[in-house]
Amino acid sequence: MKKVNIAMVRLLQFVVFVIFTFMTLSYFGAMVLVPLDIVVLISKLLSVAGVGTLYGALAAVPVVAYLALLVYKTPGLLQLIMDIGLDIINSGKKHIEAFNNIVEEVKK
């Protein structure tokens, strides 16, 4: 019965690992995709206004770069964004390591 309990704990540990890995990849992936989405939206908006999509994208890139510069220059905002991502990573690591204590208790 102990082996079944250990296997269940390890399975749950793996599920928690997968969930936190997905959360981390989603968070940092969103940090990459949001500026790209803004470029697409601005280029589509300019396309509706009669400007070609290529020219709209060429005009949208500097706008998004300026917005990124504003985020970079805002005191503490970039560090806050990075700290949130690192908190997700550290929280996941802490929760995954907590399963090791449960396995040790089950082995006794």
Q: Which two tokens stand for residue 73?
A: 């220059």
Higher pLDDT, 73 or 107: 73
Please write the tens of the pLDDT for every residue from 79-105.
999 999 999 999 999 999 999 999 888
Please write the tens of the pLDDT for every residue from 38-61.
999 999 999 888 888 889 899 999
- Which string of DSSP letters, residue by residue, matches 50-80? T--HHHHHHHHHHHHHHHHHHHHHSTTHHHH
Given phi > 0 = left and psi -120 to 50 = alpha, else beta, which region is 50? Answer: left
Boundaries of domain holding 102:
2-107
Specify the amino acid at residue 55. Answer: Y
**How many domains are there within the chain?**
1
* Residue in this structure with the two tokens 């500097």, named with its chain if needed: 62
pTM reported for the whole predicted model: 0.74
Answer for the pair 51, 30: CB distance below 8 angstroms, yes or no.
no
